[in-house]
Amino acid sequence: MSNVDKTIGLPMAMLAELTHRCPLQCPYCSNPLELEKADSELNTEQWIDVMRQARDMGILQIHFSGGEPALRKDLEDLVKAATDLNLYSNLITSGVNLDEGRTQNLAERGLAHVQISIQDSDEQQSNKIGGHRNGHQLKLAAAKAVRKVGLPLTINAPVHRLNIDHLESIIDLAVELDAARLEVAHVQYYGWAYHNRAALMPKRSQLEWATKVVEKAREDLHGVLVIDYVVPDYYAKKPKACMGGWARQFLNVTPSGKVLPCHAAESITDLEFDRVTEKSLLEIWEHSEAFEKYRGVDWMPEICRNCERREIDWGGCRCQAFAITGDAANMDPACEFSEHHEYLVSLAEIDSAKEEILFDYRRMGAFDKSNVKVAGHSS
């Protein structure tokens, strides 16, 4: 433990993507377009070894994520191992595979918290967005089970053009489900969401309305529901501090063991990622090319390096810089000082003005034959 290099910052949390398999097919999925297959997933012992290494280098929290982590039959064993290692564990789930018995088992093994995503407050629209016939009811049942066994609940609500007008009833639903926290997260446009952007991008007027709804709900529900709000970059003037700074606090391990500085980092196609099956987690954190490349402030363009916000937003999002400008070392175009900022705003304005209502579901291997689009009605 003593040989951890504290000068580069200690990682706080690890996102453990146990699998890319998922019962849902949300068109804004944060997984990469090329999903990893089941036969490439790390096994139980490998995950436990990764968690031990994580604990030894200062990681305090583990987020079991996916895909759908509850599709792993060894989820109970992994939660138990995290508890034994003194790691604070969080399950980020669709809720579709989480019945009361399973939830009870996980709680008994020391799971600390559950985050359940909902696609909409309207059942029909929720099932359409998630691409699951009965997903909404299963999610509601899972949320009730989580509270019944005494675990704190966060509802995660990604918002976009297909559901943004229902935001008020989504907030009501979170209160009704006895959640302590709600994340209202405007979709971030990488990977699948970037691909489906024309069907998802809200109009600026919708965003402004949603922001007012959140501000009012925060006042009305002060002390009742904590609401975290993730604003959409395309309409922002200042970039978000993505991941709290590249390779500064977080790391992400993919189902097959690739270690990424953020879950979307594979969208930067010229980066190479190391694997836990080949190197230690500490060595990767400290020396992996992908981590070192944009860590700190030295890599920044001059205008960022001289900006007073350089250690507030850490230059924003590398994935967005790459997606929009083709070079991840450029300024995040969400920043008003970026030469690409107006272009970014114009993309949002053009997309949101389209009558586009077709999107591709996130499906394993479906991306290369993406002609079949689904019609989601814009409300």
Binding site for other proteins (CB under 8 A): 1, 4, 10, 12-13, 57-58, 60-61, 63, 86, 88, 90, 112-113, 115, 147-152, 154, 175, 178-181, 222-226
CA angle (9 as vertex; 5, 13 as ends), nearest 5: 110
**142/323 with CB nearer other proteins:** 142
Q: Residue 277 and residue 228: Cα distance in Å, rounded?
A: 36
- Give the nearest distance from C-beta 99 to other proteins in angstroms: 17
Name, in order, each residue with C-beta under 8 angstroms of 72's C-beta and a sequence gap of 6 or more: 18, 19, 41, 78
- Report the candidate in 312, 372, 296, 370 with the shortest Cα–Cα distance to residue 9: 296
**78/174 with CB nearer other proteins:** 174
**64/361 with CB nearer other proteins:** 64
Q: For residue 341, how far is the Cα from the chain centroid? A: 24
- Give the nearest distance from C-beta 150 to other proteins in angstroms: 4
What the block records as the tokens of 51 is 């968690």
- Give the nearest distance from C-beta 307 to other proteins in angstroms: 25
- Give the nearest distance from C-beta 179 to other proteins in angstroms: 7
**65/119 with CB nearer other proteins:** 65
**186/341 with CB nearer other proteins:** 186
Q: Do you find a cis peptide bond into 67, omega within 30 degrees of 0? A: yes
- Give the nearest distance from C-beta 65 to other proteins in angstroms: 11
- Give the nearest distance from C-beta 173 to other proteins in angstroms: 14
Name, in order, each residue with C-beta under 8 angstroms of 226's C-beta and a sequence gap of 6 or more: 180, 181, 182
- In terms of phi and psi (left: phi > 0; alpha: psi -120 to 50; beta: otherwise), the region of 243 is left
**50/91 with CB nearer other proteins:** 91
